[in-house]
Chains A and B, each alone.
Chain A
Amino acid sequence: MDSPTGTGIGPSGFGPWSGPARTVAVKWLDDLDMRHQYHHGVWKSARYALIGSVVAALLTTICYRLHVDFASVIPLYLLLVVLQSLTGDFGSSAIVAVLSTALLDLFFTEPLFSFRMDHPLNGLALAAFVFTSLVITRLVIRVREEAKSAKLQKERLNRLYQLAQQLLGLDPDAPLGEDFLEPFRRLFGIRAVSIFEADSAELHLVGDTRQDLGSKTRDSYIRGLDLDDHDSQVSVRRLQTGGQMKGAIGFEGLQDPAETAGALTALTAALLERKIAFQTASAAAAAAQTEIYRSAMLDALAHEFKTPLATILAGVGGLREAGSLTAEQEGMADAVENEAARLGSLTSRLLRTARLDNENIRPRMELVDITSMVARLARQYSARSSDRAIFLTEGQEPVQALADPELVRLMVGQLIDNACKYSQPGSVVTIAIEHQGDFVAIRVSNNGSSIPRNEQRRIFERFYRGEDARRSTSGSGLGLYVARKIALAHGGALDLETGEQGDRVTFCLKLPTTKDELRHVLTA
Chain B
Amino acid sequence: MTQTPEFKGTHLFDRLCWAKENLEPVQTDYRVVYEDSVDECAKILVPDPNWMACALQGGILPPVWVPHELAKDEAQPDFKKHTRGYLLHNTEPVEAMTEKQAIEYLILKDCPQSVVETWDTGNKPKMVICRKEQLPQTREWRNAWRISDELNLAA
Q: Do A and B bind each other?
A: no
